[in-house]
Amino acid sequence: MSVPMREHRVDVGGGALAVTEFGPAEAPAVLAIHGVTSSSRAWLALARHLPDVRLIAPDLRGRGRSRELAASTGLRHHARDLARLVEVLGLGSVPVVAHSMGAFVAVALADSSPNAVASLLLVDGGYPLPRPAGVADDDLAATVLGPIAARLAREFPTREAYREFWSEHPAFRDRFTPDIAEYADYDLVGEPPHLRTASTIDAIAADSLDLFGPHWYLAALAGLRIPAPMLRAPRGLLDEPGGLYPELPGSPSLAPAMRVTDVADVNHYTILMTDPGAGVVADALRPAFT
């Protein structure tokens, strides 16, 4: 089933965010915030599960079709962009669903612009990640960003080669769908044989380091004034057992507003981008606009 899709841009100061809207223009709105190297196309499966919802999915600065915007200075920069988007589109107070790094941005948005956020649904993200064992603060950037930089620097000779990369990725092996193919196609920039992902290491550097819970983020998480349910994937980015949050309790001490629910048989990607994960997210989001 295809879902209506509209693309436009919203000026956030210093440039414009690319925004994709799924579903009817007159339907109840939901703001959807993607992950660290992702894009608006991460929401394709969810949009089909919510055909009567106006799912508003920006490409965050430095990603997708917003890649020409200056790199963010961290998660609060994205929150300012999205507060501006909510204002320009006249959304008032809007439900927010957010995946991975996007969940951290959603918490930052709810903290800095509480009148813009009617409700939160966090999908396998939003709680500070554990720091790598034995890594000092001065070495954190190199440890975290090194593997990501290598992936983002890789070139692909054809679009088919990039699709093949994702079809063989441990997270999507035996789970590759037309949605993942469209996600991959949208992500590419450049010309053959020098195609590469739209995200750059500069775009994600400050954002990635904010995922380990700087003081301002811990304060934002502790001070949330609305419930922040989180759906947790029991497997990680490479489909490994344990996931990003192997020891996260149902009611985490750092986040009084957070309640964690496990989603069976999904990993960090498939909890949102394939079924049955997308259906579970849709069911959890539906009370926000019904």
Q: Is residue 230 part of a domain?
A: yes
pTM: 0.96
**Structural domain containing residue 63:** 5-130+206-288
What pLDDT, on a 0 to 100 scale, did the predictor assign at position 138? 65
Q: Is residue 162 part of a domain?
A: no
The residue ranges of the chain whose pLDDT is under 50 are: none
* Residues 251-281 pLDDT 10s: 999 999 999 999 999 999 999 999 999 999 9
What pLDDT, on a 0 to 100 scale, did the predictor assign at position 14? 86
What pLDDT, on a 0 to 100 scale, did the predictor assign at position 137? 67
Indicate the number of domains in the chain.
Answer: 1
Q: Is residue 147 part of a domain?
A: no
What pLDDT, on a 0 to 100 scale, did the predictor assign at position 209? 87
What pLDDT, on a 0 to 100 scale, did the predictor assign at position 200? 86
What pLDDT, on a 0 to 100 scale, did the predictor assign at position 141? 65
Q: How far apart are CA 77 and CA 206, in angstroms?
A: 10
Q: Is residue 179 part of a domain?
A: no
- Specify whether the CB–CB gap between 173 and 44 falls below 8 A: no
CATH number of the domain where residue 109 is located: 3.40.50.1820
CA torsion sign for 29, 34, 40, 44 is negative
Q: Is residue 25 part of a domain?
A: yes
Q: Is residue 281 part of a domain?
A: yes
- Please, what's the b/e burial string for 84-116 (b: 16 or more CB within 10 A of its CB; e: otherwise)? bbbeebebeebbbbbbbbbbbbbbbbbbbbeeb
Neighbours of 169 (CB within 10 A): 17
* Residues 102-156 pLDDT 10s: 999 999 999 999 999 999 999 999 999 888 777 776 677 667 777 778 888 899 9
